[in-house]
Amino acid sequence: MSSRLTAKRVIIYICALLVALWTLVPFYWLLNLSFMFNVEMNSAITHFYPHDFTWSNYVRLFNRHATGPGGVDLLPIPHGQFIRTGLKNSLIVAGVTTPLTLLIAMPCAYVLGRYVFPFRNSIVMAILLSRAYPAIAAIIPLYKMWSSLGLRGTHHGLVIVYLSITVPLVVWIMMGFFNALPRSLESAARVDGCTRFQTLYRVVLPTSLPGIAACAVIAFLLVWNDFLFAFLLATGSSALTFPPTLSNMFFQYSYPTEASAATVLGVLPVAIVAFVFQRWIRKLNIVDPL
Amino acid sequence: MQQPETGSNNIRLNHVAKHFGSEVAVKDLELEIEDKELLVLLGPSGCGKTTTMNMLAGLEEPTSGEIWFGSRQVTNVPAEQRDVAMVFQTFALYPHLNVRGNIGFGLKTRGTSKDVIAQRVSEISHLLHIEELLDRKITELSGGQRQRVSIAKALVRKPFLFLLDEPFSSIDAILRRELRTEIVRIHREVKTTMVFVTHDQEEAMSIADRVAVMRGGELMQVGPPLSLYDEPANLWVAKFIGAQPTNVVPANLGERGGMAGLFDGSCAMQVDEGFFDRVAAATDSRTVTLGVRPEFVEVSAASRGASSLAARVYTLQVLGNQILYDLEIGTNHLLAITSSREHFRVDQSVFVDFDWPNVMAFDAVSEARLKI
> How many degrees, rounded to 5, is the angle at CA A168 between CA A167 and CA A171?
85
Q: What are the tens digits of pLDDT across the range B41-59?
A: 999 988 999 999 999 999 9
Distance from CA of A205 to the nearest CA of B (A): 10
User: Which chain B residues touch A289 with a CB distance below 8 Å?
Assistant: 90
User: Which chain B residues touch A191 with a CB distance below 8 Å?
Assistant: 57-59, 79-80, 84-86, 106, 163
Residues B352 and B298 in one domain: yes
Residues A51 and A184 in one domain: no
- Rounded distance between C-alpha atoms, residue B163 and residue A118, angstroms: 33
Within a domain: B111? yes
The 8-class DSSP code of residue A248 comes to H
CATH number at residue A242: 1.10.3720.10
Residues A161 and A65 in one domain: no
- Rounded distance between C-alpha atoms, residue A40 and residue A208, angstroms: 50
Q: What are the tens digits of pLDDT across the range B140-172?
A: 888 888 888 998 998 888 899 999 999 888 778
Counting DSSP H helices and E strands in chain B, the numbers are 9, 20
Range of A184's domain? 80-286
pLDDT, average across residues B87-110: 90
| pLDDT at residue A51 tops 90 | no
Last residue of a domain, one of B184, B219, B240: B240
Range of B282's domain? 247-363
Residues B190 and B69 in one domain: yes
Nearest-by-Cβ selection for A194 from B59, B80, B93: B80
Residues A44 and A141 in one domain: no
> What's the structural domain count of chain A?
2
pLDDT, average across residues A42-62: 86
Residues B68 and B116 in one domain: yes
Last residue of a domain, one of B240, B272, B295: B240
Residues A64 and A193 in one domain: no
Q: What are the tens digits of pLDDT across the range B251-294?
A: 988 888 778 888 877 888 888 889 999 999 999 888 999 999 99
Residues B149 and B47 in one domain: yes
- Rounded distance between C-alpha atoms, residue A42 and residue B366, angstroms: 100
Q: How distant is the alpha carbon of residue B114 from its chain centre?
A: 40
Residues B216 and B252 in one domain: no
Q: Look at residue A146 and give its three-state secondary structure.
A: helix
**In this structure, what is the dihedral angle of CA atoms B18, B19, B24, B27, given to the nearest 10 degrees?**
30
Residues A261 and A277 in one domain: yes
Helices (H), chain A: 2-34, 38-41, 56-61, 80-114, 120-132, 139-149, 155-180, 183-191, 196-198, 205-207, 209-225, 228-234, 242-248, 256-281
ipTM above 0.85, yes or no: no
Residues A156 and A244 in one domain: yes
Residues A70 and A91 in one domain: no
Residues B143 and B273 in one domain: no
CB contact under 8 A, A190 and B59: yes
Residues A148 and A250 in one domain: yes
Residues A49 and A87 in one domain: no
CATH number at residue B114: 3.40.50.300
CB contact under 8 A, B92 and A286: no
Within a domain: B368? no
CA R_g for chain A: 24
| A185 reaches B (C-beta below 8 A) | yes
Kindly report the number of other CB atoms within 10 A of residue B242's CB atom.
18
The phi, psi pair for B171, rounded to 5°, reads -120, 145
Within a domain: B369? no
Nearest-by-Cβ selection for A209 from B84, B85, B96: B96
Residues A173 and A103 in one domain: yes
Last residue of a domain, one of B205, B240, B275: B240
Q: How distant is the alpha carbon of residue A49 from its chain centre?
A: 28
State the pLDDT at residue A67. 86
Element (H or E) spanning B25, and its range?
A: strand B23-33
Q: Angle between the A256-281 and A80-114 helix axes, to the nearest 10 degrees?
A: 30
Distance from CA of A213 to the nearest CA of B (A): 14
| A247 reaches B (C-beta below 8 A) | no
> What's the structural domain count of chain B?
2
- Rounded distance between C-alpha atoms, residue A49 and residue A36, angstroms: 8
Does the pTM exceed 0.80?
Answer: no
| B58 reaches A (C-beta below 8 A) | yes
Give the number of beta-carbon pairs within 8 Å between A and B.
Answer: 74
Residues A63 and A164 in one domain: no
| A207 reaches B (C-beta below 8 A) | yes
Residues A42 and A128 in one domain: no
